[in-house]
A and B are shown apart, each in its own frame.
Chain A
């Protein structure tokens, strides 16, 4: 090159470094991913490791100080005490029923938003679904406390037909959780419906399929991964929450037990042991969800 006005930067360390980097994709990736991997590794996985480790420690019965020694006593206590089993079972049942209720509610809403509503009405519905997420979670649960309170609005409303509200119970916990996590189910299911090309509906009708057949053979299988994706949110959020049961339930849940052990009872090792339970349940749940293709739908 003999042209004096080259647009290339002058030869130098910086340029040679950048050129070398351009040719080496692994090096690029390393530089790009080092900060998030570092954070993820140290802060997230590190604290998780400490949590798992502390599950094997125990309290000195006299001084109540944490003994940094390996022991399975927490696990023995977890399994042998029938109260713990009841709590785990109750939490899982509530998480499962919340998930089922949210599926049943989200399905028609998401279908309507994706395939029936006009673009204008769709944005209005989107606002209605997302708006609750803008307000504080605690405020919304407190609102439910007022609704559910004895002699409150729900009692009054049901009193008209001679019924009584659920008060503060497992049913009310289920009700509030179903309300809280509904947007997390609607959004992925909406995206699932949106992704189905309109021509598939027409092709099914063209080949003789009535609405019910089309739904069962084409729509449902295609939207199932999205439903599974949504259920990961509803299930795991219910499993880990301790504020809602604290406010609207009488019974104990997984979250409340962990909270009380590390906050009130100051038994951090036992709280850690209990925390492994939802982690284990979620691991099984995610394996099942992956089989349904939920991760391709996220």
Chain B
């Protein structure tokens, strides 16, 4: 699917007035906590999201990312801490008093209204005059490539189309911040990948701050300017996709973003020469014959291939190390056939990687 050319987008969409000083973040959280009875869903979060940023909150279910999003939207009020939108404290304001809009996980389209009425809902409430309203609804529908769908009922749309309507309904209000709660979760893989690219393009075109909740690390890596990795109500790390992937701050981040390839204790000491916890990304490791030559800036470790998983474009090897512990190695199937790959099971092997790819992390 092609991304709509910029000329198709609302003329003023890219140049929304941003009168606020650059100093104020679009969204700022200060020591935000949320407690439900005995459970602390969000246990103290500080966060700054810059204007125009595509910011992802990544984490497993129950990590507090959706609760945090719902507090920014105003559906939940924080137990402690402050929430600021463009420098204004909105901690205890109602959703309709905040200049943010939400794309819901289940889309939450109004079933008794057609697509056009759904998209116009926010404008009707804000009493935007009819002429301008019609133009903005048409623009928004064109942006999500649903022009001509305004008379349809949500129940007659596919999942992907409903998703687009939900997006148009939120964007048509030109909010400061758009909140997206796992919006692609219900779509199949192909459609999800298309929508990822499209969402990113739309965000780029309208210049609105996106805060995107997902549990899919690939989605977060693909789309985000920055990612916050959530775990048990706290943020483990905030950084660009490359930072989070290549320099995980904690063992949890290393494991959740990408494959967990941890070496710790005795095994780490034998391989790296120092105690601590280290991680090596599976694709940074070279699988070589036993006794293969090792360069001065490389680290090598010997082991035996315990299991081989053939994945088409690449093969994943689980290698039990002689030093104890196990590492996962992925190799592109550039010249290897599936037969060759699978035959490697049980053979001894030497794993080699550049010294700088073995990262020490805080366990």
Contacts and interface: CB of A to CB of B under 8 A. Distances in A.
A199 B105 CA distance: 9
Contacts of A204: 110, 121
Interface stretch (B33-41, B96-104, B277-285): B96-104
B75 A210 contact: no
A237 interface: no
A222 B102 contact: no
Contacts of B106: 197, 199
A206 B94 contact: no
Given A199-B104, A213-B125, A206 B110 contact: no
Contacts of A208: 96, 122, 125-126, 173
A280 to B, nearest CB: 31
A222 B111 contact: yes
Contacts of A200: 108, 110
Contacts of A221: 112
B169 interface: yes
Interface string A191-218: 0000001011011111111100100011
Interface in B62-109: 73-75, 94-96, 100-102, 104-106, 108-109
A205 B94 contact: yes
B120 to A, nearest CB: 10
Contacts of B104: 199, 202-203
A204 B96 CA distance: 8
B232 to A, nearest CB: 25
Given A197-B106, A197-B108, A218-B110, A206 B125 contact: no
Contacts, number: 60
Nearest to B95: A205
B111 A207 contact: no
Contacts of B101: 206-207
A209 B96 contact: yes
A222 B126 CA distance: 22
Nearest to B106: A199
B75 A207 contact: no
A197 to B, nearest CB: 7
A22 B281 CA distance: 57
Q: Give me the 9 closest cross-chain CB pairs, A-B, nearest first.
A: A207-B122, A199-B108, A203-B108, A205-B95, A208-B125, A221-B112, A206-B102, A208-B96, A206-B95
Given A202-B104, A206-B170, 13 more contacts: A197-B106, A199-B104, A200-B110, A202-B102, A203-B102, A206-B73, A206-B75, A206-B96, A207-B101, A207-B122, A207-B173, A208-B96, A209-B121
15 contacts: A199-B108, A200-B110, A202-B95, A202-B104, A205-B95, A205-B96, A206-B73, A206-B102, A207-B101, A207-B170, A207-B173, A208-B122, A208-B173, A209-B96, A210-B96
Interface of A: 197, 199-200, 202-210, 213, 217-218, 221-222
